[in-house]
């Protein structure tokens, strides 16, 4: 059984076909200034998957964010069927809004086949059921924030998040550049693996680039901090369910030149490494 906010997200990822290889997706205002990057990633992957044989699953995607997206307008996804080989297929996607590309995206798909297998172990962290749900901000604190930010912080989104070490984003302290966050979709959905992968692409944009701010004691909520995703990579390693708890283990090896790099490993509760991510983002601290 699903609920309203989950249904809205599922609808967001069900694109309208316009022509062969051409799709249109709606935009959602979730309280961010521009279209949430995860939305464009999830929709671009949904578009690419619609053009690939069902026996081929995406194993990697790479994207560049070119322009900020307008939350009030739909996005058109133009898919290029770059190659269909015996084992692999490649698709390139342009996400277009107001006549200009806002994202370029490439994904590779593979038929299942056996091979050598290994993985690094999941970090030792408390199970999600051992962690409390995040506390909402006090009303007097919320009242001092801009209206759009209030909507972002107060909305009940389609995903549940339980950080292992919660951070106060309004009063951030300096800490090492890593974090672990359990997450899952807030309601049970069907078994279509392609849908679960599109939803993971959406969710993978949460928390990742924020890890780069930890050593500096800054936060995206501060008015003098500008942050934006520049690129995003996601690799799918093993089957998973997005409606069951997954651990997002993020770290940031470097920041320099107004850019920060973050990496993430995603595990299921059995400790299997199901996906990995990398993202570079712009980080600017403006002078007062």
Catalytic one of 198, 229, 251, 268: 229
DSSP calls for the chain: ---HHHHHHHHHHSPEEEETTEEEE----SSSSS--HHHHHHHHHHHHHTTS-TT-EEEEEEEEE-SPPPTTS-EEEEEEEEEE-SSEEEEEEEEEETTEEEEEEEEEEE---------PPPP----GGGSPPPPPPPHHHHTTS-HHHHHHHHS--SEEEEESS---SSSPPP--SEEEEEEEESS-----HHHHHHHHHHHTTSSTGGGGGGGGT--TTSTTEEEEEEEEEEEE-S---TTS-EEEEEEEEEEETTEEEEEEEEEETT--EEEEEEEEEEEEE---
89 a catalytic residue: no
11 a catalytic residue: no
Catalytic one of 49, 94, 204, 205: 205
94 a catalytic residue: no
Active site residues: 205, 229, 279
């Amino acid at each position: 059984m699903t609920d309203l906010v989950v249904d809205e997200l599922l609808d967001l990822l069900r694109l309208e076909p316009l022509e062969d290889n051409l799709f249109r997706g709606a935009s959602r205002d979730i309280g961010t200034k521009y279209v949430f990057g995860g939305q464009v990633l999830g929709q671009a992957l949904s578009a690419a998957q619609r053009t690939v044989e069902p026996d081929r699953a995406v194993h990697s995607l790479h994207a560049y964010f070119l322009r900020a997206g307008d939350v009030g307008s739909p996005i058109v996804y133009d898919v290029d069927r770059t190659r269909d080989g015996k084992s692999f297929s490649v698709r390139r996607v342009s996400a277009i809004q107001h006549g200009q590309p806002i994202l370029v995206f490439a994904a590779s798909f593979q038929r299942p086949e056996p091979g050598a297998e290994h993985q690094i172990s999941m970090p030792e962290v408390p199970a999600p059921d051992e962690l409390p749900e995040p506390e909402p901000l006090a009303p007097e604190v919320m009242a001092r924030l801009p209206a759009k930010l209030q909507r972002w912080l107060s909305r009940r989104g389609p995903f549940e998040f339980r950080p292992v070490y919660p951070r106060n984003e309004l009063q951030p302290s300096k800490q090492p550049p890593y974090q672990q966050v359990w997450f899952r979709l807030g309601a049970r959905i069907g078994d279509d693996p392609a849908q679960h992968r599109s939803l993971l692409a959406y969710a993978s944009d949460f928390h990742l680039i924020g890890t780069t701010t930890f050593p500096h004691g800054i936060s995206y909520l501060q008015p003098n901090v500008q942050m934006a995703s520049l690129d995003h990579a996601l690799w799918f390693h093993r089957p998973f369910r997005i409606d069951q708890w997954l651990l997002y283990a993020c770290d940031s090896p470097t920041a320099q030149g107004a850019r920060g790099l973050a990496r993430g490993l995603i595990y299921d509760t059995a400790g299997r490494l199901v996906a990995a991510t990398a993202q570079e983002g712009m980080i600017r601290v403006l002078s007062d």
